[in-house]
Each structure stands twice: as structure tokens, then as C-alpha cells.
Structure 1
Amino acid sequence: MGNSNSALQQCIEEVGRSRIGFAGFPSSPLTFQGIWVRPYNLDVKVTPAAVVRPRTAEDISSVIKCANTNNVKVQAKSGGHSYANYGLGGVDGAVVIDMINFQEFSMDTNTWLATVGAGTRLGDMAKRLHDAGGRAVPHAACPGIGIGGQATIGGLGSMSRMWGTSLDHIVEAGVVTADGEIRRANSSHNPELLWAVKGAASGFGIVTDFVLQTHPEPGSVVQYQYAMAFGSQSEIAPYYKAWQDLIAKPDLDRRFGSIFIMMPLGALVVGDFYGTEAEFEASGIQNWLPKGEHRHIVLTDWLGSLVNGAQNEGLYLTNLPAPFYAKSLAFRREDLPSHEKIDRLFRWVDSQHKGTLLWFIIFDATGGAIGDVPANATAFAHRDKVLYYQSYAVGLPLLQASKDFITNFHLQVLEACPEAFGTYPGYVDPKLAEPQRQYWDANLPELERVKKLWDPMDLFHNPGSVLVQ
């Protein structure tokens, strides 16, 4: 390492006071990448200047001061599931604050507000909420995702149409800011900081904990899966058109969450209805969904639905590190492709060389309660969206042909839906043009103003974070 990194390492080691497991550095190459860094997307090479696993907010404060002194960027890592390894800085040379030790949990049974450490994985949080009184918050299906990332980019999941995003449930957060100060952010203290944390925290500070509003768990959950096996995607198109017509209905029951997954030789429709089987039947939703021998419906409870949801998500994107490439786009109701354009898109997929058998194109229904919140109430901007699409290609190795397929499909979608703009900040894409505008849309100018106040030297930085203008 050069003199600057040597000085940084010395400073961080002094903060750790020789504690075992406090920090790792590139000077120990045999353990650094495999034990400390552990990138999620193996196609994106990143070497941080250091990875630190603090135990207290005071540790974080001192490490931030080391980074300031040595002019090094800082990023938090919670679950470490960024598609472009932005939790590792996204580019070489950042100090990574790995929040794995921040596992605090408590429940106030008078207010039903839960305090959750920012390093908590979603599966662990769900179990702790359940055990603390049968409570729940909306979040994604993958149990290994960290709440620190999930609740600061949005937090979309099958239950979001019913309850909104994860970040809509943040009442207060502990944040260590760029000056090393340890602060509380809520409606009374540092409200602008809380506003920015709720959708764009990677550019504003290190969140140590959240105080979350919770809901009573649903008593019953109907989970459904419809598998369609065909020789071409053109044969799948009619089923997708019926599904899109369903999720675009303005009066669609908010208890219904759904995903349509295109994959080699077929498709899946999976999701949840948060109610009884009789209520699901009465909703009429089944009349819009595929029929046939591959229809599978399960009545379960809340925790069972989370387990099954995680298994369904594992069908298309593993929790394990792998080389992959992804693109995405968000749609308002008026942006959705016509039936004719859907037919054209699905025929186009049939005609392409994919370069891998592990490719997936996923359409995720949103809207409902998410749109009840004004677009400028939090940093999260996409309140008017009813659908996201995401595409993935996974390969060992990941071939250029696979990347070309994913990129060209995205271009086909943009041609079919020219008014569609922007995407969910959690669907990180390092190739995205103007990522800040696409992630935060009309909220970006205000985020840039707040960034100047809280982080004028752009200490908290990755290629897609809010920048100082």
C-alpha cells in the first residue's frame, strides 16, 4: 500500500485497539476478498481500502474521522446485496462500514414501535417481530437482505401494495454523519436528514438503527403459483397480457401482490393474497390468472408465507454470490406496453441468442398503498408506478452474449414504452445513464440541496449516490 493507505490503516487499527475481527485490509490478500469483502456480483471487481466491522456508533464515528483525514470515501454494507457491489463502494478505494454487529432489537408494546439494528437480515427481523407480539413490516422476500439497505432505498415486497414500502414505516433513525457526529433523525430533530435517509441514505450517512412502525400480522395468507411450460415465449404472451391487464386495474385489491417471471421454456406467476381463501375466491382475481394442471395454491400463515416467498425468489436470483448482469425500468399505468407491443417483445425474445440458460425477465406489480404517500414526502420518488421490470443473466462465466441480450431487451422495452422513465434505486445498474435522475426523479434537486448541508465533501459516495453539485 501507498503512504496514504498505510496512514488510513494505522488510524483504523488505533480505533479498533487491536480487537480481533475489527478490520481487514488489502495488505492481507489471502483473507481480504474471501472473508472481509465478499462481493455479491462476481462480475463487478471492487477492492476497498478497508472493511471495518464496528460494534458501536462511536466506532463508526472514529472510522469516519479516519476517512476524512485520509480523503477516502465511505459506504455502509448491511446485507451486501447490491447488484453492482455499491455497499463496497462500487469502485476501488473506499472504507466499507460492515454493519453485521448491529443486531439490536426491541419492541415497545404500548406503541408497537420496533427498534431494529441496521445490520439485521430481513429473515431475522421477521422472526423477531413475530416473536415480539405477532408484528410485521413490509419488505422483500429474500431473507438474507439487510434492513440497512432495504429500508433506505425503498423496501418493496409482495405486501407493499397493502402496506407501502419499508421506508414509509421509519419513524426515527440513528445516523452517524460526515462530521463524525452521532445523531437521531426524526420529525422533530434533523427532519431533513430523515427525509434523505428514507430513500437515499448511501449519500448521507451511516444508519445504525431504525425505529419502525409495525402492523399486526395477517391471520391468513393465500400463496399461489402458476407454471406455464411452452416451447416459445410467443406462446406465453397471451398469459402476460391478461396478467398485465389485471395488475393495471385501478381498483385491484391491495391485499394482492404478484410477479410474472419469464424464463427459458416457460413462465411463472407467483405471489400472495393477504386474506382467507374465501376472500381470495370472492375477489375474482383467479378469473384473470392462468388455469390448468400447473396451478398451485397454498393457504398458510404469515411466517410460512415468508418462507415460501423466499423459496420462490430463489427460483430466479440466488442469495449466493455469482456473476450476473441486470437491467430494469419502472412504469406508470399510462406507460404500460399495448397488447400488440407485448406480442412483439415476446417474439423478439424468441429470436435472440441468450448465451446462458440462466436468464430471467421479471415483472413486479406495485402501486396500491405506495401511491398514497406524496412523491416529495420522502426521498423515494416512484409513487406513481404500477409495475417494475427487471432482467437478469447469470453465467459461469458471464458471456458478452448474455449481457447483449439483456441490454438489447431493455432497448426494445424503451422503444415500446418511450414515456417510461426511472427505476427503483435497489435495482442498481452501473451502466445506467444519469442514475441519480432515474433513481430520484423530481426529488433530486432537493436531495442535492440537503447533500450540501450534510455532506459537502461527498464523503458518502458510490457511483449511483446523490452527489454534491
Structure 2
Amino acid sequence: MGSISGLSDQERTVRSLVQNALGSDDTLYAFPDEPFYQFDHVKLYNLDIRTRPDAVTYPKTPQQVAAIVGAAAKAGLAVQAKSGGHSYCNFSSPDHGIVVDLRNMKKFSMNTETWRATVGGGMLLGELDESLYSPHKRAVAHGESVWEDTPQSVGWVRVLVSSEWLSDHVEEVEVVTADGQILRASETQHKDLFWALKGAGASFGIITEFVLRTEEAPEETVQYKYSFTSGSWTKMADVFKTWQRFIADPDLTWRFATTATITTLGLSISGTFYGSELEFEQLSLKPDFPLRETGSKTTVRQNWLDVLTHEAEQVALKLGGGIPAHAYTKTLTFNGSKNNLLDDPGVDKLFSYIEHADKGTLIWFLIFDLAGGKTNTVPMEATAYAHRDALYYLQSYAISDKLISGVSETTKQFLAGVNDVIVNHMMADGTDYGAYPGYVDLELGAEAQKLYWRDNLEELERIKTIYDPGKVFRNPQSVRPTVARSRIATNDVKF
């Protein structure tokens, strides 16, 4: 292929398409021949996975998003939205595709009668928190990476007393579909598309606006951390067993959020209790409360933004502060709610493996994060998100401690071995494991979609056939279209 000014023939074709779609305003797009294109515009999050989009665009209106998508569809190019840019496999920067960066779409308004917030698709969660709390004392559930993620992200983890997911707060969206239409989707219009967007959004469109149900922000919270770094791995295994039994208690309050984190230094248990210090002290007096060691720290907070800022700082410390790095992630969902626990011999095997296995790096984290709560009460078919029966998740991270080299096979095998120890031990119980789609893993291969979306995958494939048969919105592990088994077009979901 020939090239002019450093662009391939395809890249020159894309330049023409984008410029025709967006006009002469060169602040709305960037192309690979620009100086520092990868650094200033693409901004890969995982340096182990190299991609080079043919264009990065910065639309300001839904109409401009639609023009970009329409042009890409005609050319057969992949399109992906970038909002937070926090994709562990750089799926928001499709190789030889087009990036739709939503940083210019951050509008916010609040209806103070219904307490519904209307939010632009590019608003970061930290910005959303400030807009909700400072004038209105309102909040929504969401993940902990508040300055990296947005509502567009798959990682809609709960950080709120309701123990919900952010997707459960979404009541309506404005979305650009693969044919360049701008649609409103909700429980009453384009219901099937709305269902798919709430759990598999990157495969179905680009959301330019959210309407969110909000809650009163908690008035007082207790944040705690207990470190177990001085004893043996056997002792830490015993603490983990106690912690696991405690969170499996069916009567445990939904206001108790908790994470068990294992690193080179040992085990720590941390989280937030959404209530008063007195209530937390009463909870800690239970005979099976697992946190009774020195090295403990509790902080009472009466400002919701302080809570979120602290949690974001803790995530940043674990994951290198959001700085691009050579990284690898894996995940495991313990589906089946409170029945699927790793028994005591399994915990012993896991901690023995962690103690003796070659890690290949000093920077690794195993994070067991409690889910449960209200999300376990929502039917699996309520949205595309398919792990509502999980009590907790394992999220594994490793970062190369060699600044200029990738994650080694030794490190990848270590993280894979953690999953293997757990799954092989519990296989006899018929446990249904899955993978959380917010922590994408290229090593999952052909099974990725089934692990991410489980029994909801077939319906997602049917809806994909209706709204995006040409796979405009695609990445290496996105939902694929299939021939519809029932109706050709519908606004209803049937299982």
C-alpha cells in the first residue's frame, strides 16, 4: 500500500471520511501522521497491547457522533467509544478503527422534583459525584475508579448503601446506533436495545446521554482497613476463611462493603460501612467478625465526596494511579450467591499456592470484592449483566516491574494458576464460574463471550443481529450477531 505524509491508503480514506462527516474544524479529529498521535490522542492504557486507530474523533453533539458512525459503517470500520479510557485490553482504541472520544459531552442537569439527573456520555464519575453532591446531596452507585471511569463503562460496581449497580440507576439513554440513528431507549421504547446496553453497551451503540435515578447521599460512613502482614500465610488463610464466612451470612446488612486484597506484603481487609460509627461498632462485636488484629484503622466520614475520593485513592495505589503500564488482568465470578464458597481446604491450597508460586513480578494484586446485597435480588434476565447471583468476585492484576518490557509468561501463568487452584478444587460442586466483562482477558479465547454474559448471550446475539448486523461496534470480545431465532424486530425481550 502506498502512503502520503506517513498515512497508508486506508488511513487517507478514513481521513477523508471523517473530515466529510465533521467538516473543517480540526479540533474534532486527529490522525496517525500527527506528532505524538499515540501519546496525545490514542493514550493506550495497557502498554502490553499495541493498537493504532486510523482516527481519533472528539464530537460535541449526538449529530456529530452519528455522522462519524455512519461514515465508519459505510467503510466497514470498527467504532468504539472512549470515555474514561480505562480499558485493560485497550478495546476503546480499536486497531485500524475509529475512536469516538466523548470528552466534550459532559452536560449535567437535575430535575429536583423527580431527582433524575441527565448526564452527558463523557462525564467522568468523579465529575458526576461533584455535580450530584455539592448542590443536591445526591448520589448514585458506581465503581471506585472515579477519575477514570464513566457511566459508559462496563465496570458498574456498587459503592453505595443500596448495594446496587450503576446500570440499575439508568432509566433512559440517548444512543447512536450502527446505522447512524439517534434513538431514545428505555423500558418503554426500544426496550430490547435498552436491555442490551445495560451490561454489553460497547457492542450496541454509543450512549450520548444518560437519565439516572439518584439517591440521598449517606450522611455518615465508616471506612476501615485491617492489615495482616506480619504472620504466616497459613495464619492469613485462617483470616480469609473467617472473612468469607462472615460475608456469606444471609443476615449481613447490605450497608457493609468489603474487599480482601492479597499482595506481596500479605492480606488486608478494607471497605466502607454505610452508617454511623456506633452501628459499625455493634457489627464488629459479632463473635464471627473477622477483623480483630493490630494494624487496624477506621475513619468516620460525614462528607460523601471524601468517601469517594478515599476509595479512588486506594484503587490508584493498587493499580499504579491510572498511569499506562504493561499489565495483565484476570477475573473469576463466584456465581450461585451464598452457596458457592471456597471451603477451608480450598483456601489452604490457594494460600499455599500464593506463598510458593513464582510470580515473575513484585507488583501483583488479588482482590476479592463483595458483591451480594440488592443486586442478588434482581432477576438474572432483568438486564444483560449476567452475574447477579455472584456473592463476590476475584479480580487479579499484575504489572511488569520492568519499565520497558511486557508482562512475562511467568506472571500470566501465576494469575492463571490462582484461578485454576480455585476452579479445580470446586469443580466437583458443579459451581458455575464466569468472568466479569469489566476486566477483559484476551487469554479467554473463544469462550470469552459465554463467560462474560452466560445465559444472556443468546438474546444479546439476537439483538445484535437487529441493531448492528454489520458489527460496526466491535472489539476482539464483543457480542457477535446471529440469525434471529424468533422475531426479526421487536421492542420486547423474551427468554
Give the TM-score range, shorter chain: over 0.9
Partner in structure 2 of residue 155 of structure 1: 156
Partner in structure 2 of residue 360 of structure 1: 365
| Worse overlay, 310-319 or 458-467 | 310-319
Tell me the amino acid that sits aligned with residue 438 of structure 2.
G
For 2:259, what is the secondary structure of its paired residue? Answer: strand
Residue 147 of structure 2 contacts residue 312 of structure 2 at CA under 8 Å; is this kept in 1? Answer: no
Partner in structure 1 of residue 89 of structure 2: 84
Match of 1:71 among 71, 76, 99: 76
TM-aligned CA deviation for residue 286 of structure 1:
6.4
Partner in structure 1 of residue 437 of structure 2: 425
TM-aligned CA deviation for residue 369 of structure 1:
0.5
Partner in structure 1 of residue 492 of structure 2: none
Partner in structure 1 of residue 29 of structure 2: 23
Partner in structure 2 of residue 292 of structure 1: 293
Match of 2:15 among 6, 9, 14: 9
Q: 1:285 to 1:195 in 2, by over 3 A?
A: farther
Query: 1: CA distance between counterparts of 2:426 and 2:173?
Result: 38
Partner in structure 1 of residue 38 of structure 2: 33
Query: 1: CA distance between counterparts of 2:155 and 2:172?
Result: 15
Query: 1: CA distance between counterparts of 2:411 and 2:66?
Result: 43
Tell me the amino acid that sits aligned with residue 189 of structure 2.
H
Q: 2:399 matched to 1:394?
A: yes
Residue 119 of structure 1 contacts residue 146 of structure 1 at CA under 8 Å; is this kept in 2? Answer: no
TM-aligned CA deviation for residue 258 of structure 1:
0.4
Residue 21 of structure 2 contacts residue 64 of structure 2 at CA under 8 Å; is this kept in 1? Answer: yes
Gaps of 5+ in 1: none
Partner in structure 1 of residue 486 of structure 2: none
Residue 176 of structure 2 contacts residue 208 of structure 2 at CA under 8 Å; is this kept in 1? Answer: yes
Query: 1: CA distance between counterparts of 2:463 and 2:424?
Result: 35
Q: 2:103 matched to 1:100?
A: yes
Query: 2: CA distance between counterparts of 1:163 and 1:353?
Result: 37
Q: 2:256 matched to 1:256?
A: yes
TM-aligned CA deviation for residue 425 of structure 1:
1.1
Query: 2: CA distance between counterparts of 1:112 and 1:38?
Result: 36
For 1:303, what is the secondary structure of its paired residue? Answer: helix
For 2:368, what is the secondary structure of its paired residue? Answer: strand
Identity of aligned residues (%): 37
Tell me the amino acid that sits aligned with residue 270 of structure 1.
S
Residue 463 of structure 2 contacts residue 481 of structure 2 at CA under 8 Å; is this kept in 1? Answer: no
Partner in structure 2 of residue 213 of structure 1: 213
Gaps of 5+ in 2: 1-6, 483-495
Q: List per-residue Cα deviations over 1:27-48 (Å, max 9, x = no partner).
A: 22x3210011001111111111
Query: 1: CA distance between counterparts of 2:410 and 2:152?
Result: 31
TM-aligned CA deviation for residue 232 of structure 1:
4.5
Partner in structure 2 of residue 143 of structure 1: 146
| Worse overlay, 79-88 or 185-194 | 185-194
Query: 2: CA distance between counterparts of 1:233 and 1:119?
Result: 44
Q: List per-residue Cα deviations over 1:413-466 (Å, max 9, x = no partner).
A: 221232241122101111114111111111111111111111111110011211
| Worse overlay, 288-297 or 100-109 | 288-297
Partner in structure 2 of residue 443 of structure 1: 456
Match of 1:384 among 384, 389, 406: 389
TM-aligned CA deviation for residue 10 of structure 1:
0.8
For 2:235, what is the secondary structure of its paired residue? Answer: coil
Tell me the amino acid that sits aligned with residue 170 of structure 2.
I
TM-aligned CA deviation for residue 227 of structure 1:
1.1
Tell me the amino acid that sits aligned with residue 297 of structure 2.
H
TM-aligned CA deviation for residue 221 of structure 1:
0.4
TM-aligned CA deviation for residue 14 of structure 1:
2.5
For 1:376, what is the secondary structure of its paired residue? Answer: helix
For 1:234, what is the secondary structure of its paired residue? Answer: helix
Match of 2:114 among 100, 105, 111: 111
Query: 2: CA distance between counterparts of 1:49 and 1:266?
Result: 44
TM-aligned CA deviation for residue 256 of structure 1:
0.5
Residue 125 of structure 2 contacts residue 151 of structure 2 at CA under 8 Å; is this kept in 1? Answer: no
For 2:18, what is the secondary structure of its paired residue? Answer: helix
Partner in structure 2 of residue 330 of structure 1: 333
Query: 1: CA distance between counterparts of 2:285 and 2:481?
Result: 47
Q: Number of aligned pairs?
A: 463
Partner in structure 2 of residue 122 of structure 1: 125
Matches within 5 A, 1:147-296: 147-150=150-153, 153=154, 155-159=156-160, 162-230=162-230, 232-284=232-284, 287=287, 288-296=289-297
Query: 2: CA distance between counterparts of 1:446 and 1:276?
Result: 43
> For the aligned residues, what is the CA RMSD?
1.5
Query: 2: CA distance between counterparts of 1:137 and 1:256?
Result: 17
TM-aligned CA deviation for residue 284 of structure 1:
4.1
Residue 126 of structure 2 contacts residue 147 of structure 2 at CA under 8 Å; is this kept in 1? Answer: yes
Tell me the amino acid that sits aligned with residue 90 of structure 2.
N
TM-aligned CA deviation for residue 231 of structure 1:
6.0
| Worse overlay, 301-310 or 449-458 | 301-310
Partner in structure 2 of residue 62 of structure 1: 67
Partner in structure 1 of residue 489 of structure 2: none
